[in-house]
Structure 1
Amino acid sequence: MTTRLRFDGWILGTGTTSGTRVVLGHWPRSPLGPFSDVMVQRPDGHRVLLAPTAEVAEFVGATYSFDEVRLVEVAVDRSDPRAWTLTAGPLQLRATVGRRPALGRLLRLVPAPLARRPAWVGLIDAPARLLTGLRTRGSAGNGRTEWYGVQDLHRLATVTASWDGEPLGAVAPVQPPVTFGFGSVPPDPSVVRVTTTVQVP
């Protein structure tokens, strides 16, 4: 017996010239209510989850792998449609959104109801790995399976970020890839419109 849970929103992923990589999940619609969470991998590989509630921390921590979990206020401001502003405990970040590349235009050709379906996401997993090196379906923690139904993609033009008040440097590729789960975010800093389905045993 399994249950499928759907999280609808955006994932923003970026590297910095300091080596810190940041993955922000912003979920206006989810089984846990609206929330945002942040996965951070420091230059030494240390993985930190910044979660707004114990419930979010428990669910995300059971799906992905972290070395440290912190409960902090996670605030996302998108009042400017071309920018993202994030405050999450020790992390401050502002990102400006750039152009939609060819992959983003291709993703928008797929009707959203189809793009969100796990059957479709599983079908395109192999081509996605071949063309981009990224996975759309895989095994998550504790016997869970996850599907990423991506519907749009924009590059990030600029990123300004700090950790405990120390600047993290300029925007940079997400290299090496983050290691929270079975897949990473695109190597080019970007924000994707996505519906994530998690199957829980």
Structure 2
Amino acid sequence: METERLTFDGWIAAVGTGSGARVVVGHWPRSPFGPFSDVMLERADGLRTLLAPTAETAGYVASVYHFDEVRTVPVSVRGRDGLWEVAAGPLELWFRAGRRGPLGLALRAVPRPLARRPLWAALADAPSRLMTGVRTRGSSRPGCRQWYAACDLRPIVAARARLDGADLGPLAPVSPPVRFGFGSAPAAPSLVRVVSTVERAVP
């Protein structure tokens, strides 16, 4: 067996809705698969769905995280001046990011080379647990380990979402925590600049 290590550099946005559905958007301008975006959706009844743009990205993400349903659909993410629009098959999402606070300003000072190292994720894991469900390192499947380094953080202050044409309700906390991997997004809706590294054994 060989070890494969892949790094994804981009943004993760997480919002809760009044209907109980929680949405996590990954927007990866730099990845081993080229630029792409994907959406993880957990409904109020617990059904976990992955919406990914290609069979290749869907297969990879589904091999790392846990879903009840995987769908390959066109995924478009556009962000400018704090306003983001997401279209992913049956899901439409619009959200606005607010001004970064002290934590966001501190995270922006983390050098990117340092952010890629497992040691940094280990150091950040303990304080990150002060936010319910948040972890910076762990494993969601046997033979696979992951670590995350946040490089920026902005609150999401407004959002609206529709699924299959139905309004999902007003912006709400990401609660209960989502169950895709070893950790959840912060309960407070957030837009996080992140470097995500996945290491796993491959034949």
1:132 deviation in Å?
A: 2.3
CA distance in 1, matches of 2:127, 2:155: 21
Task: Give the alignment's TM-score, normalised by structure 1.
Answer: 0.95
- What corresponds to 1:149 in structure 2? 149
**8 Å contact from structure 1 (residues 62, 142) kept in 2:** no
Runs of 5+ consecutive residues of structure 1 not aligned to the other structure: none
Paired residue secondary structure (2:122): helix
- Which letter does structure 2 place at the counterpart of 1:100? R
Task: Give the alignment's TM-score, normalised by structure 2.
Answer: 0.94
**8 Å contact from structure 2 (residues 124, 136) kept in 1:** yes
1:28 aligns with 2:29: yes
1:116 deviation in Å?
A: 2.7
Which shows bigger deviation, 4-13 or 140-149?
140-149
Paired residue secondary structure (1:62): helix
Describe the superposition over 1:137-195 as per-residue Cα deviations: whole angstroms up to 9, x where unpaired.
Answer: 00122421001011000001100110000000111000000000000011100100001
**8 Å contact from structure 2 (residues 131, 187) kept in 1:** no
1:126 deviation in Å?
A: 2.0
1:79-98 correspondence runs (5 A): 80-98=80-98
Which aligned segments of 4 or more residues in structure 1 are displaced greater than 6 angstroms?
none
- What corresponds to 2:131 in structure 1? 132
CA distance in 1, matches of 2:57, 2:9: 15
**8 Å contact from structure 1 (residues 116, 150) kept in 2:** no
- What corresponds to 1:165 in structure 2? 165
Describe the superposition over 1:81-104 as per-residue Cα deviations: whole angstroms up to 9, x where unpaired.
Answer: 211100000000100111212321
Aligned-residue CA RMSD (Å): 1.1
- Which letter does structure 1 place at the counterpart of 2:74? E
1:8-157 correspondence runs (5 A): 8-78=9-79, 80-129=80-129, 131-133=130-132, 134-157=134-157
